[in-house]
Amino acid sequence: MGVAYSVGEVDHLYTFFVKWSPEIYIKDNKKQCQPCFVIGEKHQKWYLVLKKYKVAVINKRLSKPVDPTAKNWKVSDCMEPYVEIITLKDSKRRQSLCSSLDSEAEEPEYQEEDEGALPVLCDRSHLLDDQHLEKLAAHMPARTQGYPWQLVYSTAIHGSSLRTIYRNTTSLDSPVLLVIKDMHNKVFGAFSSDSFKVSKFCYGTGETFLFSFNSDFQVYRWSGENSYFVSGNLESLHIGGGGGGFGLWLDANLYHGSSFSCPTFRNASLSTQEDFIIKDLEVWTVGT
């Protein structure tokens, strides 16, 4: 017995789990168990790996509950890739990333990704140190894992212009990470599931989140209340909204900014003050 989802829903499903079942993944603001994704080359299978005793909790969120004791898993007959929920024990019998399904008899042992490994930066950052990288990488969507981070905009290199950000990111087909340091040397920003662009309407997905290193590290994920993820014009860039203020707002000259609590993320102000002056800013692309 199996549950099938389109690949595009994988990260949304995980976001849902984290938001509505935080007891499964988060304890004292520390990651406890992040799903693992294993691809079988031949049929492009994606497996969401869960510990057996947690399957019952996840089943409460699914319209078609899974049976972790079933010997055979049947998945819908479709041409699109799918996601299958299996137990951690069963996952050890599945294919490794580089194994063909035809070699299943060899039963390669499942290996977890080294969670302590830091992302590789292709360029030097003036804002991110190893501590920042470790904290941020732990909250990135699965589809960004294993890819180097490339700097696409920096005020230290490109000057201060929102138009330049748009010019450097509009053609990207990957998520972007916006990192800001204000005049009080506080570091904060946003991860956007889509690259920044001028748009009349809001864009992005529930992967988008806000973060702040103001004292303790804080991540503000999608609340599910609205879908005002990202929007922007030539005069300003906005992330999160719906309550009279934006979760993060930047002006055209990348000089003034503001951060208010908003329904999209139910965040606190990311800076020490709701209105702040930008000292440095970087934008990184963090996926394919």
pLDDT tens per residue across span 263-286: 999 999 999 999 999 999 999 998
pLDDT band at 244 (very low <50, low <70, confident <90, very high): confident
Sheet holding 45-50, edge to edge: 39-40, 45-50, 83-87
d(CA 103, CA 168): 44
Higher-pLDDT residue of 227 and 37 is 227
d(CA 44, CA 149): 25
pLDDT, tens digit, 9 for 90 and up, residues 119-133 = 899 999 999 999 999
pLDDT band at 16 (very low <50, low <70, confident <90, very high): low
pLDDT band at 107 (very low <50, low <70, confident <90, very high): very low
For residue 35, what pLDDT is reported?
Answer: 44
pLDDT, tens digit, 9 for 90 and up, residues 168-208 = 998 999 999 999 999 999 999 999 999 999 998 999 999 99
Tokens standing for residue 83:
């996601």
Q: Using an 8 Å Cβ cutoff, are 152 and 182 in contact?
A: no
pLDDT band at 243 (very low <50, low <70, confident <90, very high): confident
Kindly state the average pLDDT of the residues 35-64.
46
d(CA 274, CA 258): 5
The widest CA-to-CA distance across the chain, in whole angstroms, is 61
- Mind spelling out the 3-state secondary structure of the chain? CCCCCCHHHHHHHHHHHHHHCHHHHEECCEECCCCCCCEECCCCEEEEEECHHHHHHHHCCCCCCCCCCCCCCCCCCCCCCCEEEEEHHHHCCCCCCCCCHHHHHHCCCCCCCCCCCCCCECCCCCCCCHHHHHHHHCCCCHHHCCCCEEEEEEHHHHCCCHHHHHHHHCCCCCCEEEEEEECCCCEEEEEECCCCCCEEEEECCCCCEEEECCCCCEEECCCCCCCCCEEECCCEEEECCCCCCCCEEEECCCCEEECCCCCCCCCCCCCCCCEEEEEEEEEEECCC
For residue 169, what pLDDT is reported?
Answer: 95
Q: How many CB atoms lie within 10 A of CB 68?
A: 19
d(CA 112, CA 97): 11
d(CA 144, CA 133): 13
How many residues are present in the chain?
Answer: 288
Tokens standing for residue 285:
């692309």
Instruction: Find where tokens 């049947």 sit.
Output: 74
pLDDT for 59 beyond 70: no
pLDDT, tens digit, 9 for 90 and up, residues 74-100 = 433 333 444 445 444 444 444 333 333
